[in-house]
Structure 1
Amino acid sequence: MPLPDPTDDDRDLTQAGYRPQFLRGLGGFAAFAAGFSYLSILTGIVQNFHLGYREAGPAFFWTWPVVFAGQLCAALCFAELARRYPYCGGVYAWAGRVGTPALGWFVGWVYLASLVVTLAAVALAWQVTLPALWPGFQVLDAPASNAALLGVALIALSTLLNARGTRLLARVMAAGVVVELVAAVGLVALLLGQSVRGPGVVLEAREGGPTGGLDAFGPFLAAAVMAAYVMYGFDTAGSLAEETVDPRRRAPRAILQALLAAALLGALLLVGALVSAPDLADPLLDDGAGGLPYLIKRVLGDTLGTVFVAAAALAVFVCTLAVHALAARTLFAMARDGATPFASRLSRVDPEHRAPRAAAAAVGALACLLLAFNSDHEQLMTALVCVSIVWTNLAYLLTTGALLVERVRRGPAPGTLLGRWGGPVNALAVAWGGVLIVNIGWPRERFYGSEWYQRFGALLFSGLLLGAGAVVYRVLRRRSA
């Protein structure tokens, strides 16, 4: 099948009033790699396995397919929007077109805030892997300070690569994804080969776990936060549409392929870990200092375990690149529309490397400030990371909600990706988004802290974010007028 003429792809931009500035060099696998890098099961599951296990024991596995089913509904809606609107900015661009420009701005504001926090949180994951590889990576005695130091180094490297252009960035992410896929498949095979119990272990719930006031369902609702920490960011391929060849066809596929691949490999990895764990009562399995890296080393031995922990460290690096790329392009897209302060500078694309350098540098600087904050306020930073997942899913909910309202008002559009199933799938995505936001933001002491302002951090932080957004939006509107 012959490749489409790049001018056909750029025609969408010129019709929308934009001047093509990026270089179209991403193919199908590169677009998939961008989305899969963000999901990165060797980052998310390795970093957060202990959270799910702590709340519900082995049976927390079932939260994984439940969260996947809900996020798949959102991903199907995003695939349809990526096909209709192949523009940089992802949910910001989509929400502003199926809804109103004001809605698009607030979606972009909330999503950008979540991405900056996520970038800092992913960079902190090097503290989980690098010192486990070599004690020399523990430069500072305090773990929080050392995590911030390693994170700043990682974000500095990510900023450099994001500023060098899409081609180099895509090659690094694609190579990293290949390594991660091979490592994940190999790890699953080795863990299953060391099984000491059958797959029925996934039916074993932890007795006496916290209920969160919801009886038997409390532990599973709390454990579902782990899966929610991993399964988001699949919209990354849509945000790189202006750098993708034939984005109307490739971006929707990449969004769905990234989520499906991560869900399948993640489920197998969880089963492999549970059937091979030497002792399910080991307290280090539900401790942040142990978790999955500890289990892998116990099962596979120090040498082989170290190899897979190294693969996890590489996955953290690639995931950081993907989150940084998405955040930079979201900021660039908003600045291009005059929707941010310093818009003229942030909307520049370097003519030589075809990269939004100013946007990438600004995002990196903001994330480094959060890492510095983590050194002295680790508990508050942990709460902020939890809240950032609320913000991400709030941006998703506002986007799928606007799409549902458009469907109700105008009826099913001809030739849509979902056809007659669009309405039911869209309604499920909206309902799921609301449930997920409430569940993640629920004031659990074990996630947010014991003080009232920590437990209700999701509500307080979200209120502050939206209030600040309203002030910034009003100022920008006045300047525009």
Structure 2
Amino acid sequence: MKDSPVTDNNDLARFGYRQELQRSMGSFSSFAAGFSYISILTGLFQMFHLGYGVAGPGFFWTWPCVLAGQFLVALCFAELASRFPLSGGVYQWAKFTGNPFLGWMTGWIYLACLIVTLAAVAMALQVSLPQISSSFQVIGTSNDPKSVAINAILLGSILVVISTIVNARGIKLLAVINNIGVFAELIGIVFLIVLLYLNRVRSPVEAVVHIKNIGTGVTSFPDLKTLLAATALTASYVLYGFDTAGTLAEETHDPRKKAPRAILQALLAAGFAGLLVLLFALMAAPDLGNPNLGNINGGLPMLVKSVLGETAGSLFLCIVIFAIIVCTFAVQSGAVRLMFAMGRDGFLPYSKSLSEVSPKTQTPVLATVLCGLGAIIILAVNLQFPKVFELVTSIAILWANLAYWIVVALLLKNRISLARNGGDADAKFSLGKWGFPVNILALIWSSFMVINVSWPRTATYGVEWYQQYAAWIYTAALVGIGVSVYYYRLIRRKRIP
């Protein structure tokens, strides 16, 4: 029997919160939230050229590896989503399995990740729009790297403004757009997979195993060092954000049951679809030695247009652009709910205002505006950075997996006490006897992801030392600011009678 909204609200009250957000999302909307965040039509079309430029066709093998590792993390998150059906996702999970400080740091790091991701996803318009029409290259030409970067920031800023308006209007409008976008993306992915397969010019072995003389600097199967670099750029960027269904738990009917299922379904659906798109794209590419496959002005959009033809390719790129727009909306919605959840607990500056929900739209409007403003500021700050795409995306990947690592580690620490207490009777998803081995492997995987993404590589961050160590420098600064804000708010709360 389906739980009523009253039951969901009473469940929420047990955690000390009252229902303020509009609980209107069903099973498909919950799945769509995670799927649209991952959005392989956004991530693959945006980041394909980076992975290909580093490792050539061999970067295909990074995808199944990352999918398998992230699925271990997703299984742990599914358990937590069933135990703690609250807005804020990883913040709440770390708080309840650890303590308020660890919850704060996890939420702080992930909030920064989401705002950076919002900026990074919005910039994906630059990869597709100018290939439909050169008129979208508003500033300079596509042959000038600086003009490309500035144009990407302009297009991205416009999209963030639109996303802020839509998110401020409420979850109903957002869910409708999200559902339509995911439905269109699923249909588009199926057609793309079929068309690429029908236009294949080589076998799978020739495409991703026997790699010879492809003209991109890789004349054989890439070595481990090269594959690690490619892993940090493409698959790692696309295959995260599956926890979004848990972040929107307070707007979902029966979230203890639907959120865990949505988390796993979103990752698996996007992961396997992306695997087929990559494989068949490499099988269908007219010339794997084309250097533009590893260039921002070429990449997967250029490959698709060359295979499907100018007209059909441009029409498909329109679907990709719609997917980018919907993905941007989804990322901002996750950031807003996280900021709302942290503000509701009183540990953010101006917490009362940030957690205030509009009675008309049932949405935290100020949090929505600040998330959008934060993304635009990030875009503007990186205006003069020569590797703006690589920097913004790599920092986002690092912070996401750092937050994931904290949550997975805390869950492992609490498994013994949870087992002794007989588990959580209200949880509707449990790994049972597989909990410990899955959790241990997930922690090992998350540790690898954090180290690999943050490694100071020239290919990712640049040639100067301050560029190569940008991820470590920015992360240390983020943690330092987070600790300061937490204890400042803690002291302030103790002083107020």
Residue in structure 2 matched with residue 450 of structure 1 by the alignment: 463
Residue in structure 2 matched with residue 438 of structure 1 by the alignment: 451
Q: Residue 415 of structure 2 is aligned with which of 395, 407, 418?
A: 407
Q: Cα deviation per residue 1:321-347 (whole Å; 9 max; x = unaligned)?
A: 000000000000000000100101000
The answer to whether residue 405 in structure 2 is matched with residue 392 in structure 1 is no
SS in 1 for 2:23: coil
Alignment map for 1:344-355 (pairs within 5 Å):
344-355=352-363
> Structure 2-normalised TM-score?
0.93
Superposed displacement of residue 209, structure 1: 8.3
Superposed displacement of residue 95, structure 1: 0.5
The one-letter code sitting in structure 2 at the alignment partner of 1:198 is: S
Q: Residue 334 of structure 1 is aligned with which of 342, 360, 363?
A: 342
Q: Cα deviation per residue 1:157-210 (whole Å; 9 max; x = unaligned)?
A: 100110111111000000000111111110111111101001112213477989
- The answer (yes or no) to whether the contact 1:56–1:206 under 8 Å persists in 2 is no
Superposed displacement of residue 378, structure 1: 4.3
The one-letter code sitting in structure 2 at the alignment partner of 1:227 is: A
Superposed displacement of residue 377, structure 1: 2.6
Q: Residue 291 of structure 1 is aligned with which of 294, 299, 312?
A: 299
Superposed displacement of residue 22, structure 1: 1.2
Residue in structure 2 matched with residue 364 of structure 1 by the alignment: 372
Cα distance in 1 for residues equivalent to 2:461 and 2:217: 15
- The answer (yes or no) to whether the contact 2:93–2:103 under 8 Å persists in 1 is yes
Cα distance in 2 for residues equivalent to 1:62 and 1:96: 36
Alignment map for 1:26-425 (pairs within 5 Å):
26-141=25-140, 142-200=147-205, 201-205=207-211, 216-225=223-232, 226-379=234-387, 382-411=390-419, 413-414=422-423, 417-425=430-438
Q: Cα deviation per residue 1:357-414 (whole Å; 9 max; x = unaligned)?
A: 1111110011111122233334356324312211100000000100000013443643
Q: How many residues align?
A: 477
**Which shifted more, 128-137 or 261-270?**
128-137
> Structure 1-normalised TM-score?
0.96
The one-letter code sitting in structure 1 at the alignment partner of 2:481 is: A
Alignment map for 1:459-470 (pairs within 5 Å):
459-470=472-483
SS in 1 for 2:387: helix
Q: Cα deviation per residue 1:223-267 (whole Å; 9 max; x = unaligned)?
A: 112100100000000000000011011000000000000011100
Cα distance in 2 for residues equivalent to 1:206 and 1:232: 32
In structure 2, the CA distance between the partners of 1:380 and 1:289, relative to structure 1 (3 Å rule), is: closer
- The answer (yes or no) to whether the contact 1:57–1:206 under 8 Å persists in 2 is no
In structure 2, the CA distance between the partners of 1:421 and 1:206, relative to structure 1 (3 Å rule), is: farther
In structure 2, the CA distance between the partners of 1:156 and 1:206, relative to structure 1 (3 Å rule), is: farther
SS in 1 for 2:74: helix
Cα distance in 1 for residues equivalent to 2:310 and 2:388: 34
Identity over aligned residues, as a percent? 48
- The answer (yes or no) to whether the contact 1:58–1:206 under 8 Å persists in 2 is no
Cα distance in 2 for residues equivalent to 1:206 and 1:315: 34
Residue in structure 1 matched with residue 144 of structure 2 by the alignment: none
**Which shifted more, 233-242 or 457-466?**
457-466
**Which shifted more, 466-475 or 28-37?**
466-475
- The answer (yes or no) to whether the contact 1:44–1:230 under 8 Å persists in 2 is yes
SS in 2 for 1:281: coil
Unaligned ranges ≥5, structure 1: none
In structure 2, the CA distance between the partners of 1:330 and 1:35, relative to structure 1 (3 Å rule), is: same
Cα distance in 1 for residues equivalent to 2:475 and 2:418: 32
SS in 2 for 1:460: helix
Cα distance in 1 for residues equivalent to 2:444 and 2:336: 30
The one-letter code sitting in structure 1 at the alignment partner of 2:334 is: L
SS in 2 for 1:411: helix
- The answer (yes or no) to whether the contact 1:144–1:374 under 8 Å persists in 2 is no
Cα distance in 1 for residues equivalent to 2:120 and 2:368: 17
The one-letter code sitting in structure 1 at the alignment partner of 2:437 is: P
Cα distance in 1 for residues equivalent to 2:2 and 2:410: 33
The one-letter code sitting in structure 2 at the alignment partner of 1:313 is: I
- The answer (yes or no) to whether the contact 1:384–1:457 under 8 Å persists in 2 is no
CA RMSD in angstroms comes to 1.6
- The answer (yes or no) to whether the contact 1:87–1:93 under 8 Å persists in 2 is yes
Cα distance in 2 for residues equivalent to 1:176 and 1:276: 26
